[in-house]
C-alpha cells in the first residue's frame, strides 16, 4: 500500500515540475499526478527507444520529467492548433 502512495506522490511531483517547465505553473494535485504517471510511461518508452545511459533513481526521475514535458508540449500544440 505504501508503494502505491509513494508512486502517486512522486507522479504528482513529476507532473508539477513538468508543469513549471512548460507552462510556468502546476495544474493541481490530481492533474499533476496523472501527467506525472503518464510522463513516466512516456519517459520509459523514450529510454528504450533513444540511446541513453539512464540508470538509477535520479535518471529514471529525469526521464519521467522529460516524458511529462513531452506530454504537456504535445497537449499544448494540439490545443493551440484548433
- pLDDT averaged over every residue in the chain: 83
- Give residue 82's pLDDT: 66
pTM: 0.80
Say how far apart CA 82 and CA 68 lie, in whole Å.
22
- Give residue 19's pLDDT: 86
Task: Dump pLDDT digits (tens) for 9-47.
Answer: 888 888 888 888 887 777 778 888 888 888 888 888 887
Domain ranges of the chain: 19-51+64-76
| DSSP letter for each residue of 10-60 | HHHHHHHHHHHHHHSS---HHHHHHHHHHHHHHHHHHHHHS-----HHHHH
Amino acid at each position: 500500500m505504501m508503494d502505491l502512495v509513494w508512486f502517486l506522490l512522486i507522479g504528482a511531483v513529476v507532473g508539477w515540475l513538468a508543469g513549471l517547465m512548460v507552462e510556468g505553473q502546476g495544474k493541481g494535485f490530481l492533474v499533476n499526478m496523472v501527467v506525472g504517471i503518464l510522463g513516466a510511461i512516456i519517459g520509459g518508452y523514450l529510454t528504450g527507444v533513444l540511446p541513453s545511459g539512464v540508470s538509477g533513481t535520479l535518471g529514471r526521475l529525469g526521464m519521467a520529467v522529460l516524458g511529462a514535458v513531452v506530454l504537456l508540449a504535445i497537449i499544448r500544440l494540439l490545443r493551440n492548433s484548433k
